[in-house]
A and B are shown apart, each in its own frame.
Chain A
């Protein structure tokens, strides 16, 4: 018997009453609706154009405060989503464009590309950053010099009004490379047709993502030879991606740094049109692929020419950046062997690039006993891959000496080697292991020439070369481990 009848009569109605009451009044709101999309975006009526705004700034470096109740209305054409721009937007109306500098980042969350914004300009300041027109929030004096401060959160809440998203976005203005150096185009979206990156800048990273340094890559057209800098931030999400090797259309906003006009892309969609074959390129894909060893075997002791319609493909095993070889030379290696290619000009091919070179009819000769394809125009070569790792043959010094001619211009690794002949790596040395010895030579102008030579046994990776005699050459300092 749990309860006597008296308490039972009282208990259950009471229980019910309390629970019902509690349930009725205790509805704590925890789940939330989604707010409606957009609502009615604010529309202000601009009374001033960007061109009028920029006009109050007449001398470079000056800070010109807006004193009138000016309202501009413009579309965002560059934001900071990709990280190529930082705390700064580029906005554009029918009369031109301007950078708007803020004090905070992640502007794209509020002011993404394509959004119309209105700015109540009064008390904001028009200035330039190395001649690039900018609208800023205020200035601060440091060491007697005024410097720009972006629009703060408080200013933005009062002055920057978020409008609608453009149904049709501003179309980039098509301009030619030769006419791009035009102040009126600054801060606007432009499109360049039929341009390509110069051979040295095609297939290279946009910027240095490791050190996060910005880099310039050069665009050229095929007709006038005009050039334009494409500048990209090391913080951009695409910094480590590579520039297109083809030719075509590129879109971006135009900026300037003193007298250098510069193009900025929003993201790599802006270069999606650069897929056509390069102009001026005759090599690369042309010709039938043949082994490097087959080209080597063409040489029988006197200068000759390579067969027609042949191309070779190999991985660059020399490091131009360490400057331990002539800037016009490159060593490439494929599964069959290696060879030196001597260009007619300084080239930009990096360690690990995979090249295709049209060798059709080119000179095959020796330079101080080192076999080379000579007088190769740079545009005969094209990059077909990057970051490749060549095969490295591990051998003793005696084996290198024995196979010297067959292994010429390929990589070898010698374990337990001792280097003698100098305190630094510069100049002539001798590499010795238990099996024998071989000369090693490094240019005095190599970047690592001043590094101390190792005193104990080391593992050496080197290119087998010839300068009227056997010679090893290092690619760079990391070849000694």
Chain B
């Protein structure tokens, strides 16, 4: 059966003669597994020095050959090299198809993304676990080099958010519709079976979807596309987990048209890199194919990755100094001698996909996928009646104390007494056990008196469950010899369930579900304090819902098309999409502060959006290309940005409207066997964006929401990458991104807090014009050297550089109201409004591997060591602290602190794989 797969790969034909003197050899190189064109594949005519490189359609031309027989060497990373004989006889026949067989084993060392980058994506300490653009597995030289090299700096291509990088699983977009983020946790630990990836870069044509301005990536999970193998691996690391075992078995295509792939893994760490963080995840994957005819294939894929992790949180520089480490984590403390983390994130959202592929004619194909996904996710945190228990609560810090003597005492305590830097679990239990209180008319039942220990501290579990189903279909049709058209349709039904539950009462008898602030602020309003007026004086026990409870209902649908035409030296494409975006909130609690605006359905919001793009590529010759692409479109606001206080009430952000996106890019591509490169300039404008973020108002001890309307930003920059093979076995990589991403408007700011009926800020102007877009280094550089030995080993050393990582900034501080009492250009004025950035960072990374053949089986060893210099001062995210202290006034420059996260020091990932 192995032979059967190889057979089509050996098919070949001859090139044709252009004229009597010389002939042109034309051909097309395809992936044997799915017949997709392979780009950037080198085709060497042995003995002539003539080399061709395939273009975006997998086609190559080698001109100026004498008629006669030739041997060709066709090679590409991740594929078995192919040596074939052809006869260049001058007959002007059709281009010949050459099929390359995927070699997943060599794919691993030469394209380190599958093992390393996925792991890095998981290490996000906020637990969001976003799949950044580094997941792209394209053959694009910039993404290949930079995407991996800069992932440690949380580099985002072109500064875009992850909603600009949609990820498709068998045609289905898996980005979370509430936030636009693709959450990696949903399929972490399935590296073996998610290798078949394909990306479109930037604004270029995309065959499988109408891509966003960042591009798009698709993953093919069909069992018939997986290599036949059994593969077992063990990995040892000190990053977000310590151990991983993984098992994968694929049958390949079997008689009767069946193919099955099974994969599973387990990853765990009692304590990962950061103190108090643990990890445990088990992943499973099943894919079954049935090829009814060579033209019809049905696939069922089921995958899931339940995981649970103890999280780390960022902290203040002052606290890092006192703790003596940049990996201080305020989320944990000892309980009965064991480290217990209060912030535990978990998720299990399995997905099932049913995919049908049909090729009714040689020139047309249809792919249709229906899917369903659902499950639990959430995270826990300490909730408390009063007295913020965070050990790094800023009022506990020396800088919050006026008396220098007392400040010194506090500094001594935090520096020398580790328990003072940790959560005091025993103290929580004690406080809860000595808290006898009586609730009259409990749960709204007259005469129902509950006496017991009222919890002062609990572990709450903030759930974000979801159910989702949808459909996606793409029809592709060739229009004559040189053009093709795609038509696509998709629809998504989504329901998010958001609520808070009691996870652990920590020794108390009940939690009283009231808003302590409403009780004080609105003493005369009946039921104002009740989070659910239908259950006043709600006595909540373990596992019960309290606080907030609402659904997010989202319905999205769209139609898109794209036409591509390839002329001799010019390729052009144009495409367009129309979408409907429909969503609303359904409140399940009637909140006492918003009794007439919290229960039931909100207004149903509907936004119709469009996108249009097009571009052209001019082929100067087989090695040099010029291209230019453009995009214009609108985007619906995301659910999470659309409501003033989504946890509590139905009120929509005033003046909500779709944002506008315009983008252009242009560049130069170089493709030759020893030199591959790309140089691209890009300019993108986002206009009229709405941006909400939930934050914890430390001064008030409640959650609040900041919403900005009318955010405009511009992302401009240059991407450059070069991969050179100056000598046999040596590869030199170089890449750079020079970006300038900045805000270009003064948006309006709204701030709500969950416990107040009033807007804290109502439409204040935010003076952020020319502030820099945070959350990614805007300037990056990379230089790498790789050696591939003859005995199946390789080693690489990569130096990376990142700068202009700007910190996220507190919008409330950049308002006229905030600075009105400050003296212009005084130190406090500058501290309050200047945007801070991280120091420039440098890192040295090693990656190497070796493989052995044992009988007919293979053993692979891969070793990745990042940050060889153990630089522990690399800031990878920063934000203005929202914590403010009563002791500090706005004139006190100590008020303006940032909370920072640092990249790991020296860290490693070693894997040993056995394949048969």
Interface residues of A (CB under 8 A from B): 1-3, 7, 10-11, 14-15, 18-19, 21-23, 25-26, 28-30, 32-35, 37-38, 103-106, 108-110, 112, 115, 137-140, 149, 152-155, 157, 162, 165, 209-210, 212, 235, 237, 239-240
- Chain B: minimal CB distance from A106 (Å): 3
Q: In the bound complex, how far is the Cα of B765 from the Cα of A325, in angstroms?
A: 49
* Segment touching A, from B323-331, B401-409, B750-758: B401-409
Q: Are B232 and A152 in contact (CB under 8 A)?
A: no
Q: Are A14 and B524 in contact (CB under 8 A)?
A: no
- B433: Cβ under 8 A from any A Cβ: yes
Our pick among B429, B456, B519, B916 for the contact of A10 (Cβ within 8 Å) is B916
Q: Are B523 and A157 in contact (CB under 8 A)?
A: no
- B823: Cβ under 8 A from any A Cβ: no
Q: In the bound complex, how far is the Cα of B277 from the Cα of A291, in angstroms?
A: 75
Residues of B within 8 A of A162 (CB): 430
Residues of A within 8 A of B431 (CB): 109-110
- Chain B: minimal CB distance from A107 (Å): 9
A106-B386, A149-B403 as given contacts; A18 in contact with B270, CB under 8 Å = no
- Chain B: minimal CB distance from A143 (Å): 13
- B379: Cβ under 8 A from any A Cβ: no
Q: A25-B243, A29-B270, A109-B435 are in contact. List 10 more A-B contacts (CB 8 A).
A: A11-B916, A18-B245, A29-B278, A37-B507, A109-B427, A110-B427, A110-B430, A149-B403, A153-B410, A240-B523
- B254: Cβ under 8 A from any A Cβ: yes
Residues of B within 8 A of A7 (CB): 230, 916
- A267 to chain B: closest residue by CB: B437
Q: Are A2 and B260 in contact (CB under 8 A)?
A: yes
Q: In the bound complex, how far is the Cα of B410 from the Cα of A3, in angstroms?
A: 67
- B456 to chain A: closest residue by CB: A109
- Chain A: minimal CB distance from B190 (Å): 16
Q: In the bound complex, how far is the Cα of B260 from the Cα of A19, in angstroms?
A: 21
- Chain A: minimal CB distance from B366 (Å): 30
Residues of B within 8 A of A153 (CB): 396, 410, 413, 420
Q: Are B520 and A30 in contact (CB under 8 A)?
A: no
For B409-436 the 0/1 string (1 means CB < 8 A from A) is: 1101100010010000111011101110
Q: In the bound complex, how far is the Cα of B387 from the Cα of A202, in angstroms?
A: 34
Residues of A within 8 A of B335 (CB): 32-33, 35
Q: Are A112 and B434 in contact (CB under 8 A)?
A: yes
| 30 interchain pairs, CB-CB under 8 A | A3-B230, A7-B916, A11-B230, A14-B232, A15-B232, A15-B247, A19-B247, A22-B245, A25-B243, A26-B268, A29-B278, A32-B336, A34-B429, A34-B506, A37-B433, A37-B507, A38-B433, A103-B406, A104-B387, A106-B385, A106-B456, A109-B435, A109-B457, A137-B406, A139-B403, A154-B410, A155-B406, A155-B409, A157-B420, A240-B523
Our pick among B234, B426, B520 for the contact of A35 (Cβ within 8 Å) is B426
- B279 to chain A: closest residue by CB: A28
Q: In the bound complex, how far is the Cα of B38 from the Cα of A217, in angstroms?
A: 88
Interface residues of B (CB under 8 A from A): 230, 232, 234, 243, 245, 247, 249, 251, 254-255, 260, 266, 268-270, 278-280, 308, 335-336, 338, 340, 344, 385-387, 395-396, 401-403, 405-406, 409-410, 412-413, 417, 420, 425-427, 429-431, 433-435, 456-457, 506-507, 519-520, 523-524, 914, 916
Q: In the bound complex, how far is the Cα of B233 from the Cα of A14, in angstroms?
A: 11
Q: Are B387 and A109 in contact (CB under 8 A)?
A: yes
Q: Which 3 residue pairs are nearest across A and B when measured between Cβ atoms?
A: A106-B387, A209-B523, A109-B431
Q: In the bound complex, how far is the Cα of B255 from the Cα of A2, in angstroms?
A: 10
A104-B387, A152-B406, A240-B523 as given contacts; A34 in contact with B268, CB under 8 Å = no
Residues of B within 8 A of A35 (CB): 335-336, 425-426, 429, 507
Residues of B within 8 A of A103 (CB): 401, 406
A18-B232, A35-B335, A35-B425 as given contacts; A140 in contact with B403, CB under 8 Å = yes
- Chain A: minimal CB distance from B182 (Å): 26
Residues of A within 8 A of B385 (CB): 106
Q: In the bound complex, how far is the Cα of B230 from the Cα of A158, in angstroms?
A: 62
Q: Are B410 and A34 in contact (CB under 8 A)?
A: no
Q: In the bound complex, how far is the Cα of B493 from the Cα of A257, in angstroms?
A: 66
- A30 to chain B: closest residue by CB: B308
- Chain B: minimal CB distance from A267 (Å): 9
Q: Are A104 and B336 in contact (CB under 8 A)?
A: no
Q: In the bound complex, how far is the Cα of B507 from the Cα of A477, in angstroms?
A: 53
Our pick among A3, A19, A33, A165 for the contact of B336 (Cβ within 8 Å) is A33
- A21 to chain B: closest residue by CB: B245
Q: In the bound complex, how far is the Cα of B278 from the Cα of A30, in angstroms?
A: 8
A7-B916, A18-B247 as given contacts; A30 in contact with B434, CB under 8 Å = no
Our pick among B234, B270, B519, B914 for the contact of A237 (Cβ within 8 Å) is B519
- B280 to chain A: closest residue by CB: A28
Our pick among B247, B268, B430, B524 for the contact of A210 (Cβ within 8 Å) is B524
A105-B387, A152-B401, A209-B523 as given contacts; A29 in contact with B338, CB under 8 Å = yes
Residues of A within 8 A of B435 (CB): 108-109, 112
- B268 to chain A: closest residue by CB: A26
Residues of A within 8 A of B434 (CB): 112, 115, 165
Q: In the bound complex, how far is the Cα of B154 from the Cα of A429, in angstroms?
A: 75
A30-B308, A106-B387, A109-B456 as given contacts; A235 in contact with B520, CB under 8 Å = yes
Q: Are B409 and A152 in contact (CB under 8 A)?
A: yes
Q: In the bound complex, how far is the Cα of B429 from the Cα of A450, in angstroms?
A: 59
Q: In the bound complex, how far is the Cα of B266 from the Cα of A106, in angstroms?
A: 44
- B403 to chain A: closest residue by CB: A140
Q: Are A32 and B340 in contact (CB under 8 A)?
A: yes
Q: In the bound complex, how far is the Cα of B354 from the Cα of A381, in angstroms?
A: 81
Q: Are A154 and B409 in contact (CB under 8 A)?
A: yes
